[in-house]
Amino acid sequence: MNQEEQGKKMGQIIVKAWTDDAFKRKLITNTAAVLKEEGIEVPQGLEVRAVENSDKVFHIVLPPKPDIKKMNDDQLQRLITRDRSYKMDAGFCLCSLLLDWSGLVQ
């Protein structure tokens, strides 16, 4: 499964969790098993956890620290300025693209 297909599949899983409370509970309590059931293979030895944001709780997930010793000056500058055209790897955080505080506690 390529990255685009996996992204679509994850979108389907999220929508299913929004519409099916039992599925959501199962996804939160046994994430890896549910992902496997839904066709997403989790690499052995990797722990995966699903958490849910609400109007009162917002999780910030810190991505793995990049090896900045292997990055050139241009890559570092793009990282610092959050240049959206720069792609580190599939696991890099898109927080700045997704963060929307509207609708949270006033």
Going from N- to C-terminal start, the domains of the chain cover: 1-52, 54-106
Residue 93 has what pLDDT? 46
Residue 39 has what pLDDT? 92
pLDDT tens figures, 86-103: 454 444 444 444 445 555
Residue 89 has what pLDDT? 47
Stretches where the chain sits below pLDDT 50 are: 86, 88-99, 106
What is the C-alpha to C-alpha distance for residues 34 and 32, in angstroms, rounded to an integer? 6
Residue 85 has what pLDDT? 55
Write the CA distances from 12 to 19, 24, 75, 94, integer angstroms.
Answer: 11, 12, 33, 19
Amino acid, res. 32: A
